[in-house]
Each structure stands twice: as structure tokens, then as C-alpha cells.
Amino acid sequence: MPAVRETVDTVRKIDVDQYKYGFVTDIASEKAPKGLSEDVVRFISEKKGEPDWMLEWRLDAYRRWLTQHEPTWARVSYPKIDFQDIYYYSAPTHTPGPKSLDEVDPELLRTYEKLGIPLREREILAGVEGSRVAVDAVFDSVSVVTTFKDELKKAGVLFMSMSEAIREHPDLVRRYLGSVVPVTDNFYATLNSAVFSDGSFVYVPEGVRCPMELSTYFRINERKTGQFERTLIIADKGAYVSYLEGCTAPMRDENQLHAAVVELVALEDAEIKYSTVQNWYPGDKSGKGGVYNFVTKRGLCAGARSKISWTQVETGSAITWKYPSCILRGDDSVGEFYSIAVSNGYQQVDSGTKMRHLGKNTKSRIISKGIAAGHSNNTYRGLVTANRRATGARNYTNCDSLLIGDLCGAHTIPYIESYNRTAVFEHEATTSKIAEDQLFYCKSRGLSDEEAVALIVNGFVRDVLQQLPMEFAVEAQKLISVSLEGSVG
Amino acid sequence: MLEIKNLHVEIDGKKILRGLDLSIGSGEVHAIMGPNGSGKSTLAYVLAGKDDYEVTGGDILFEGESILEMEPAERAAKGVFLAFQYPVEIPGVAGMTFLKAALNAQRKARGEAELTTPDFIRRVRQAADLLQMDQEMLRRPVNTGFSGGEKKRNEILQMALLEPKLCILDETDSGLDIDALRIVSEGVNALRSPARSTLVITHYQRLLNYIVPDKVHVMSAGRIVRTGGKELALELEARGYADYAADAA
């Protein structure tokens, strides 16, 4: 877990004198009142010491949100969400946690062990008292400015919390915030715009290759607190950055709404690689209590020859509603989407991507691997479009689904719209089941049921795993195996 | 090594094996021949522990211990190996990865330490050299896009690496040309040892020119109906299985 380890180490360091770094100082404060109103939006903005323009931006979003409706087109079902029954802001609090690992759910500990998480980190993840203060600093809505600040500074890379960026780099934030995902884009994105808590801000200046992978690590750990992260990454002309989001460790929680927005902007000749491993609590064996994950992620290839690449490994959440997309506006720009979505138990996944070809000779590539087990439903939903000026646009889409057992479902819903006759779009899709023969073959060589499934599944997702940074890929592979435990036999 | 007593097996209510007896001593090579549908492949699968078969009577003892209640993986770790008639493709999983997973799973089950990567690679090289096979095959996904001959050779390579005590070869000769047949047979012969027993299932006497058995059994309608030395195979080749059809009834 390099991503986690870095963060944890950092937090340990800064824990001693966190004020020195100019983090939010008023951490003793309580939650905003339950529910959403203009007052709550003002409360959030004030807590964060935001300038007027930011408050106005939020209020505008809030008023527009009031006129919007929840989208219902996705192949997911869940009880109606009462948006007035949610807390929209919470600073770190000090509710008592377990005193030691002995008090933590043994099943959770077993999973940590399988994932190879070091003991110290297990304590932190499980919220054991004592490790608590450090945890709060990272894991709650108020995010902490992250790693390697000095080295990044040398390279001229800005990497900080969104709150800090709003204060220190208002010009960049005003220019790009909402430029890829407009305030009114969709119900959840608008909600996020009104109440976003915090998130990451990255700016890589012209011609700079970011010297390290950037990573953050979020956790939802307040009961009934909606989480509304907001991330903005800008790669200026000729810049390169690779960003890792998420964590392989499973997170226990109650039903929670999560509606993040991620915006990427790549200018001329710039490249952004964004990798996610998502493993939020998927709910218990009967499907109760998992995280609802309604995310809007979009990248704009604004300049010629720019490139944006999304790679995601999704194993968690009760409901996943997520379509990391690329707008290919610059000529010769490239968009990529590599996805592994694993669902088990009663999880519902409706995920995919959109590739909008606007510029000439734009190219996109979609490789999606869905794995459904248990009673889960796993839908790939993708949109590929070419507008009139997108001469020479090319897309290649490959969607493979793997079924484990008889009670799950896999669905592939590709939409293709082309308004330019020179555009060439290819779509391939397969659905297969893990064959009894394959399982028996592996088992006759000494593998257990679970090892056999893990091996076959890892073969199935290999193309996508190869896209992840090396260490992340190893973690992801383990995570997929653990997620599918108990799916056969 | 292996003792099968009065074994009765059904699949979907259909009786396939009807009181089969067979005993193979340490270091022995036995061949089972018989017409299509006599239950030869069923026997191979039941020995390896395939799910779909229901054992309705009798017992299988491996080194004196009944293996009927054991999972396939447990049997494998104890030293039972089946070379499949139709080896299965596993797309995306490199042969090396597969072999390492299998070998280490078996070692773990036996309470042995997992092999390090260099040790593993050394063993693979030894096994491949022994069988005069090209390791290149192991970089490709397991059996995916392999020719019939490559698949069978891959089975024997796995056998050499996993070092089982009981090798069951289910029609390993089918689909092989003469050259491949020779290579595969030489591989099997190279693995003959006093501590290892082999059960060769085949339709044709031809294979037994290369892998010379200690005993030949004729199987018909789910039973061993005749047992003899290697010359029995020649007799079958000359006269066919017609003589044994009557016993089936």
C-alpha cells in the first residue's frame, strides 16, 4: 500500500505540529446542522474561510440543484435518499473508537491480513484509539495537504487541498473549477458544487514532468456524513502527471452517500494519468449498509496532442454510478479508459465511460472488464460520439464480462453517435462464465476453489492491470481475489 | 500405491462404473484399454476428484488411505496427477504463473515452504530439459491457442514439475502425430521411478510400444474384464474389442 503508507507517514510527521503547515485550524468545530439549505452552504463556506466568489459559486449551484431531479436511467435500485437527513459538513471529531485491535470485527482484520496491510496501518484503518488523532487528520472531510511538498515545490508542481488552493491560487481555481464539469452538469455534480468539502488540487506547470506519482487517500468515517470531494488537476502545456486515488483496504461504514467530482484539464501536449482503486464497504451479506457512490469524473483534452488516461479498479460500494470520461477537443488528442469492475453479494455497478470526439484525428480506447458474482449486477454503459468536425476520429472499445455463478447479471450498453463519416468506431463485447472445466483443471493441479477463481479472474483482467502503476497493480490483484472470496464452492 | 475396490460410479443417475477393481503397486505402469464408453475417462476423473460423478459404492485407497472425501486439490497435494485428454484453456494466465501457483499451493498443503522465483525457474528449466521441451510455451497463456500436441506436452511438463506419485494419462496419445507421440512418451518414461506409479488410458496399442506397461487391463461396461501382460495389448490390436462386448451385458 504505498499510497497509504506515504500518507500515513506524512500524517505521523505532521501530527506533531500540524498548524505549522497552515491547515485548517478550527478543528474542534462540530457538524453543520443536518440537511441542506442556503444556511448550510454558507456555514460550510465560512468554516473554510472562503472568499465571496466561492460562496456565490456554491450558492448558485445550490439554487440550481433545487430545480434538478435525481437521475433514474442507471440500472441500479435503492431506497429513496432523503437529502435532508444527511450531514453535509463535519470537521474531525473525537468519538471513541475501539481500544485495541482485539475489539475490532475479526472478519475485517482477516481481510486486512489477506491484503498484507501492516499492523500499524490496520489499527489506523480500524479506527483504534490512539491512532485516532492521526487518522482524523487525514481521513475526514478536511483533507490534509499531502506528501513531498518540498520536492514538488522544486519542480514547481502545486499539490494541495482544494481549500488551500482556493485561498492561495484563486486565479487558477476560478479559471478551471467547473470548466470540465459545469455546475449544472448533473444532479450529483451540482450537489457537490454546492457543498463540496475538500479534495485535491494539482497544477503542473508548462513543460514539467511531475517527479513522482501523486496520491491521496480518503475515507468516509463519520456516521451519516455525505462525502463530497472535489478534485481538480491541471497539466499545462507539455506537462505530465500521474495521480493515484484510493486505497485497497476495505472500509466499514453505514449507508453513505458519496458524490465526488473530479475534473482534469490537459493543455497542449500534456498528459494526465489518473488511477483509482475503490474498495468502500459494499454492504453486508444481505446487501445492507454499503456506500452509495455517485461520482462524476471527466477530463478535457483541451490542447492538441494531449492525452488523458483513466484506469479504475472498482470492487467496493453497494452502488456504483460512475463514468470517467474524456472530451477530446484538441486535434490529435487521445483518451483512454481501462476498467475492472468487480461485484459480489448484492452490489450494483453501473459504470463505463464517455468519449466525445470533437477535434480532428482524435483517438480513444476503452477496455472494460466486468466481473459479476453472487447476486450482483454489473453494467457497462458507454458513449462514444464524433461531432461534425471530428474528421478521422477513431475509437476501439472492448467490453468483456465474466460471470461467476448463476444468480448474477452482466449487461453491456454501448451508445455510439457519429456525425462524421470518416470516423471509425469499433466495438467488441463478450460475456463468458467461468467454466466448471477451468475450475476443475486448476483444482486438479492443487489450487483451492478460491485460488482457482482468483487465477482465472486475474487472467481475465490482465490487460487492464498492466495499465496500473506496478505496485498499485499488485495491490489491485490481491484486492480482486479477496473481493471474490466465497463466490464459488 | 493405488487400490480401487468394487467401485460404483454414476453420473446423472446413469451407471458408468459397475464394481471396478484395480490395484497398482509402487513403480508399476499399468495400461487400461477398452472401447468407447467403457468408462475409462470416468475412472480418470473420479480418481482426480471431479464433482459431477457420484460414487455409489466401493472405495479408492491411495497409499492406504481413502481419498473419496478429498477435494481435488488435496488429492493433488498428496501426489495424484491427471494428464487431461482435453487440457483446458485459461486465457490471460501465463503458463509460468499457473505452474508456480500450482506448485506452491501443493507445497503449502504439504507444509513445505513456497519456492522462491529463482528456485522455481531452475526447476522449470530442469523439467523442460528432461522432456526436451521449449520453455517458450510457458510464457503463453495456459493452453490458449496451443496445438493438440502442444497441449499434451504441456500436461507432461506439468507432471514433471509437480512430481506426482501417481500419474494418470487419459488418452494422452490422441491427437498426437508420430513425432509428438515419441517426445511425450520419452518424457513419461523419463519420469518412471520406483516411487512413482503410472496409469495409462488409451484406445491404441501404439502408445504402449513407447511406454511399455507392466500390466494391461481391458475395461468394458465399467469393469476390468481381463488383465494380462504387455502382449495383451497386441492381441487387442489384432482382434479388437468385440470379444469383450458380451461381458458387458
Per-residue pLDDT tens digits for A108-129: 666 666 665 555 555 655 555 4
Residue in A with minimal Cα distance to B93? A459
* Cβ <8 Å between A445 and B92: no
Nearest residue, CB atoms, B105 vs list A446, A456, A460: A446
Q: How many CB atoms lie within 10 A of CB A383?
A: 16
| Collapsed DSSP state (helix, strand, coil) of residue A326 | strand
* Cβ <8 Å between B158 and A443: no
Distance (Å) from the alpha carbon of A446 to chain B's nearest alpha carbon: 4
Would you call B71 an interface residue with chain A, using a CB distance cutoff of 8 Å?
Answer: yes
Distance of CA B206 to the CA centre of its chain: 17
b/e map B108-128, b = 16+ CB within 10 Å: ebeeeeeeeeeebeebbeebb
pLDDT, position B78: 96
Q: Is the pLDDT of residue A443 over 80?
A: yes
The C-alpha cell 466525445 sits at: A356
Q: Which residues pair with A357 in a beta bridge?
A: A328, A386
As a whole number of Å, the CA-based R_g of chain A is: 22
| Options 3.30.420.40, 3.40.50.300, 3.20.20.60, 3.90.550.10; CATH of B2-248 | 3.40.50.300
Would you call A185 an interface residue with chain B, using a CB distance cutoff of 8 Å?
Answer: no
Residue scoring higher pLDDT (A425 or A104): A425
* Cβ <8 Å between A455 and B93: yes
Judging contacts by C-beta atoms under 8 Å, the chain B residues touching residue A460 are 91-92
Helices (H), A278-404: none
Q: How far apart are CA A226 and CA A90, in angstroms?
A: 9
pLDDT one-digit tens code per residue, A53-64: 999 999 999 999
The model's confidence at residue A377, banded by pLDDT at 50, 70 and 90, is: very high
Would you call B237 an interface residue with chain A, using a CB distance cutoff of 8 Å?
Answer: no
* Cβ <8 Å between A461 and B92: yes
User: pTM above the 0.90 mark?
Assistant: no
* Cβ <8 Å between A462 and B49: no
- H/E segment holding residue B105: helix B95-109
**Residue B16, CA distances (Å) to A348, A456, B46, B52 in order:** 44, 31, 11, 12
pLDDT, position A370: 93
Would you call A442 an interface residue with chain B, using a CB distance cutoff of 8 Å?
Answer: yes
Residue scoring higher pLDDT (B34 or A270): A270
Would you list the domain boundaries of chain B? 2-248
Sheet holding A394-403, edge to edge: A214-216, A240-246, A271-278, A307-314, A334-343, A363-372, A394-403, A424-433
| Collapsed DSSP state (helix, strand, coil) of residue A179 | coil
- Closest alpha carbon to B139 in B95, B90, B178: B95
- H/E segment holding residue A472: helix A470-483
For the ranges A321-335, A367-381, B130-144, the one whose mean pLDDT is highest: A321-335
**Stretch A337-347: mean pLDDT:** 91
For the ranges A33-42, A433-442, B76-85, the one whose mean pLDDT is highest: B76-85
**Stretch A289-312: mean pLDDT:** 93
pLDDT, position B131: 77
Would you call A441 an interface residue with chain B, using a CB distance cutoff of 8 Å?
Answer: yes
Q: pLDDT tens per residue, chain B (249 residues)?
A: 999 999 999 999 899 999 999 999 999 999 999 888 889 999 999 999 998 899 999 999 999 999 999 999 999 999 999 999 999 999 999 999 999 999 999 999 999 999 998 999 999 998 888 777 777 888 899 999 898 888 998 999 999 999 999 999 999 988 888 888 888 898 899 999 999 999 999 988 889 999 999 999 999 999 999 999 989 988 888 888 877 764 444
Q: Is the pLDDT of residue A203 over 80?
A: yes
How high is the mean pLDDT of chain A? 80
pLDDT, position A3: 39
Q: Is the pLDDT of residue A25 over 80?
A: no
Would you call A106 an interface residue with chain B, using a CB distance cutoff of 8 Å?
Answer: no
**C-alpha cell read off for A357:** 470526439
* Cβ <8 Å between A463 and B73: no
> What ipTM score was computed for the predicted complex, to two decimals?
0.94
Interface test with B, best of A433, A434, A445 (most B CBs within 10 A): A445
Would you call A446 an interface residue with chain B, using a CB distance cutoff of 8 Å?
Answer: yes
pLDDT, position A151: 74
Q: Which of residues 367-396 of A touch B (CB under 8 A)?
A: none
The model's confidence at residue A325, banded by pLDDT at 50, 70 and 90, is: very high
Q: Is the pLDDT of residue A262 over 90?
A: yes
Task: Could you list the beta-strand ranges (E) of A162-229.
Answer: 200-204, 214-216
Would you call B110 an interface residue with chain A, using a CB distance cutoff of 8 Å?
Answer: no
Residue scoring higher pLDDT (B170 or A280): B170
Distance (Å) from the alpha carbon of A452 to chain B's nearest alpha carbon: 9
- Closest alpha carbon to A218 in A143, A289, A282, A162: A143
Q: Which amino acid, residue B113?
A: A
Residue in B with minimal Cα distance to A453? B90
Q: Is the pLDDT of residue A107 over 70?
A: no
Q: Is the pLDDT of residue A143 over 50?
A: no
The model's confidence at residue A133, banded by pLDDT at 50, 70 and 90, is: very low
Q: How many CB atoms lie within 10 A of CB A215?
A: 24
Task: Could you list the beta-strand ranges (E) of A404-464.
Answer: 409-418, 424-433
pLDDT, position A146: 42
Would you call A466 an interface residue with chain B, using a CB distance cutoff of 8 Å?
Answer: no
Least confident of A142-146, A182-186, B189-193: A142-146
Distance (Å) from the alpha carbon of A406 to chain B's nearest alpha carbon: 17
pLDDT, position A180: 96
Sheet holding B54-62, edge to edge: B14-24, B2-11, B54-62, B65-66
* Cβ <8 Å between B90 and A459: yes
Judging contacts by C-beta atoms under 8 Å, the chain A residues touching residue B105 are 445-448, 451
Judging contacts by C-beta atoms under 8 Å, the chain B residues touching residue A456 are 90, 93
Q: Is the pLDDT of residue A255 over 50?
A: no
